[in-house]
Structure 1
Amino acid sequence: MYEYAIAWEWLSFAVRWLHVITAIAWIGSSFYFIALDLGLVKRPGLPVGAYGEEWQVHGGGFYHIQKYLVAPASMPEHLTWFKWESYATWLSGFAMLAVVYYGGADLFLIDRSVLELAPWQAICLSLASLAIGWILYDLLCKSPLGKNTWGLMALLYIVLIAMAWGYTQIFTGRAAFLHLGAFTATIMSANVFFIIIPNQKIVVADLIAGRTPDPKYGVIAKQRSLHNNYLTLPVIFFMLSNHYPLAFATQFNWIIAALVFLMGVTIRHWFNTTHARKGQPTWTWLVTVVIFIVIMWLSTVPKVLTGEEEQASLSPRQQTFVENGHFEAVRDVVQGRCSMCHAAEPVWEGIARAPKNVKLETDGEIAAHAHEIYIQAGRSHAMPPGNITEISPEERKLLVAWYETTVEGK
């Protein structure tokens, strides 16, 4: 059993690393071509059918690039298709979802204080949401509304907010953010697989056959590419968010997710405008900072929104321990709710070593990790995963009060 847990841990690491590698490849090529496309210049003397050109320098050499909206008069022998970066990113991401969240559903996917689910039910809901999300998005794009690009993007934003709320009503906060990223990434990769690449292949086939390609295929692919452009940065945020519990494991996490999508728009607008040589709208960075500050504010569950005090009352015994600086109550909570995993020899099935090598068995170990306990189990609900050990709200408040009065207050 010990060897199985070790092998599973390394498998998790391997698929995560592979996902990072493939995502870098996809996002890198996507960012490059967006910048290239926006920076194209129309000059006299371009070949027939050429839309614009760009001169670039990199690695000690010069590159002369020309773009054709349809295709050149004659097809080149070698044509590079940028598609496997997208496919590999999605496949490796799904593998990570399966290994980490499906394989560890009880810890990372299910929060029984949110919704009582069996692992198979949670997994089916996860799979269904990804498939239904793409189908709904694709139908919207193909509907009459799809002719209005910005109206469609506004409706898509509403759908994403609804999914953010829905995921937080089903899964753990960690899994909700991860799924929102997977939901968005599925739309992006499916755009490449089902729309962009097939449309380009139709154009190529028409050219080879001597037919004039229909421009509509390029227009449709361009719209989907625009969506991918604005969705990229939020996906990165959600994939990184599992390291930051104040983002995913607080009361207003779905609103935070909604604001993350807006930050993606403001940042991409700056890059798109700059690459198109239409100025540098620095106001977008100010807006981004303001949104981020609002996110930070929301993560603390402010009284003005909840109508409740941030720290509800402790029991008289707990308050006495906090005021007198005693440690027993805190130790009881940590050892009773956390040490079955955070131990030299974890007793929780499937965990061979303490996560992140954080051990919480002795007074010294608990004191050394006071800040992590405060953030992960006090200020947020990230730990225990899925509240598997059923830590109570009062116990969380005790951890907060202990840290803020006897640790941070020193």
Structure 2
Amino acid sequence: MYDLAAMSSWIEFAVRWTHVIVAIAWIGSSFYFIALDLGLHRDRNLASGADGEEWQVHGGGFYHIQKYLIAPDNMPDHLVWFKWESYATWLSGFALLILVYYFGATFYLVDPAIADIGIPTAIFISLASLAFGWVAYDQICKSRFGDDNTRLMVLLYLILVGMAYFYTSVFSGRAALLHLGAFTATIMSGNVFFTIMPNQRIVVADLQAGRTPDAKYGKIAKQRSTHNNYLTLPVIFLMLSNHYPLAFASEANWIIASLVFLMGVTIRHYFNSVHARKGDPIWTWLVTALIFIVIMWLSTAPMFRAAEPVEAQGGAVRFAQAEGFDTVKDIVTGRCSMCHAAEPAWEGMHWPPKGVRLETEYQIAMAAKQIYLQSGLTHAMPPANLSYMQEAERAQIVAWYRAATGG
């Protein structure tokens, strides 16, 4: 029988890799077209009737690119669409959310010390919040309030701050920041699926019918594309945050997440200004560095909770009561706890790796799967086997985990 824990881990890896690949494709094309649009020369009277042009060189060849403000006179024979990158990024990200945070809700999503809610309730909150994000954002954009893009972006930022506080009030710190990233990414993908692509299809249909397309469709699509441009970098930070407990395991994690959005704005403002040939605003990097220093300062009060007895969590009981737990507890305490502790004894280490603490029965039982995969089934931990874990000890970890899971 194939090891289910190993198989699920590989499935998660495959989905995560897919997510990264398609996200790179989406972000790359998005950044390129924003830079291209900002860098177009619009002060030339082009015989083609195009709004602007740009000459570029790459890979040993020269490219002559022209942009039509609304649409060309006739429909081109071959038109390349950019849409599947966005769709695939959201779908693979949502699949990863299910695999890691829904199936692993006991470990990663629900934290009774923050909000004592059941797993079904937590999953419902997750799904409902993502839907709410898109509907609220879309309606605001379509309202008169959305006519002023600066005003709209300020309101969107306030909504994101509110969602950061909300998520950190109902989910674990790790899940909260991840969900804020998913909330934002859902808005971005929704822009492509529900607004940008439909508007482009209307323009294409008008061209095919011999009608002059309405410029408003391009204007709306450009607004949503610009929003996506400024939201991309914060989303990347939030998606990577689960690797850094100083970001998600701080009492100020919602403030940190809020400041991350400001860093995204300052960084993108620099590149967008340079691409548009509107100067070289080096000050944006200074502002970004200052914000990051504030984040570093806020993170120095890590949100490591006091240990609870094993009986407090039903999800950990079966591992704590499984045959061999006492032996495994001694192995983990002796081989792992010097690093995975509130105050690591390992020289130069100030926080437990990834926020994982393995000092009590409760903590060891809750981390059973990670211990099994990284120290039993593989030799990933301890790193370089610095604590000299023996093969017999790894075998005992495997036997304990399989006894608890019936594997």
TM value normalised by structure 1: 0.78
* Mapped pair 1:171 → 2:144: no
Query: Which residue of structure 2 aligns with residue 64 of structure 1?
Result: 64
Query: Which residue of structure 2 aligns with residue 35 of structure 1?
Result: 35
> Shift of the alpha carbon at 1:43?
4.8
Q: Which amino acid aligns with 2:78?
A: H
In structure 1, how many angstroms separate the alpha carbons of the residues matched to 2:294 and 2:361? 30
Q: Deviations over 1:301-348 (max 9, x none)?
A: 39xxxxxxx99xx9xxxxxxxxxxxxxxxxxx89x99xxx9xxxx947
In structure 2, how many angstroms separate the alpha carbons of the residues matched to 1:389 and 1:162? 33
> Shift of the alpha carbon at 1:384?
5.2
Matches within 5 A, 1:105-184: 105-184=105-184
* Mapped pair 1:272 → 2:272: yes
In structure 2, how many angstroms separate the alpha carbons of the residues matched to 1:245 and 1:389? 19
Does the aligned pair in 2 maintain the 1:87–1:189 contact within 8 Å? yes
Query: Which residue of structure 2 aligns with residue 239 of structure 1?
Result: 239
Secondary structure of the residue aligned to 1:192 is: helix
In structure 2, how many angstroms separate the alpha carbons of the residues matched to 1:242 and 1:388? 24
Q: Deviations over 1:144-203 (max 9, x none)?
A: 101010000000000000000000001000000000000000000000000001001101
> Shift of the alpha carbon at 1:211?
1.0
In structure 2, how many angstroms separate the alpha carbons of the residues matched to 1:77 and 1:297? 56
Kindly tell me the number of residue pairs found equivalent between the two proteins: 344
> Shift of the alpha carbon at 1:368?
5.8
* Mapped pair 1:228 → 2:228: yes
In structure 2, how many angstroms separate the alpha carbons of the residues matched to 1:118 and 1:294? 35
> Shift of the alpha carbon at 1:389?
3.0
Q: Which amino acid aligns with 2:159?
A: V
Match of 2:332 among 361, 380, 395: 361
1:262–1:121 distance in 2 versus 1, CA, 3 Å: same
In structure 1, how many angstroms separate the alpha carbons of the residues matched to 2:361 and 2:77? 59
In structure 1, how many angstroms separate the alpha carbons of the residues matched to 2:195 and 2:75? 21
Q: Which amino acid aligns with 2:191?
A: N
Does the aligned pair in 1 maintain the 2:339–2:349 contact within 8 Å? no
Query: Which residue of structure 2 aligns with residue 19 of structure 1?
Result: 19
Match of 1:389 among 339, 362, 377: 362
In structure 1, how many angstroms separate the alpha carbons of the residues matched to 2:233 and 2:49? 33
> Shift of the alpha carbon at 1:366?
3.3
Query: Which residue of structure 2 aligns with residue 376 of structure 1?
Result: 352
In structure 1, how many angstroms separate the alpha carbons of the residues matched to 2:261 and 2:351? 24
Q: Which runs of 5+ in 2 are unaligned?
A: 322-329, 365-407
In structure 1, how many angstroms separate the alpha carbons of the residues matched to 2:56 and 2:251? 48
TM value normalised by structure 2: 0.79
Q: Which runs of 5+ in 1 are unaligned?
A: 303-309, 315-332, 350-358, 392-410
In structure 1, how many angstroms separate the alpha carbons of the residues matched to 2:172 and 2:361? 11
Query: Which residue of structure 1 aligns with residue 325 of structure 2?
Result: none
Secondary structure of the residue aligned to 2:170 is: coil
Please tell me the root mean square deviation across aligned C-alpha atoms, in Å. Answer: 3.0
Considering Cα pairs closer than 8 Å and 6+ residues apart, tell me whether 1 or 2 has the greater RCO. Answer: 1
Q: Which amino acid aligns with 1:34?
A: I
1:44–1:265 distance in 2 versus 1, CA, 3 Å: closer
In structure 2, how many angstroms separate the alpha carbons of the residues matched to 1:47 and 1:30? 28
In structure 1, how many angstroms separate the alpha carbons of the residues matched to 2:92 and 2:357? 27
Does the aligned pair in 2 maintain the 1:164–1:177 contact within 8 Å? yes
Does the aligned pair in 1 maintain the 2:12–2:100 contact within 8 Å? yes
Q: Which amino acid aligns with 1:204?
A: V
Query: Which residue of structure 2 aligns with residue 306 of structure 1?
Result: none
Does the aligned pair in 2 maintain the 1:360–1:366 contact within 8 Å? no
Does the aligned pair in 2 maintain the 1:263–1:288 contact within 8 Å? yes
> Shift of the alpha carbon at 1:49?
3.3
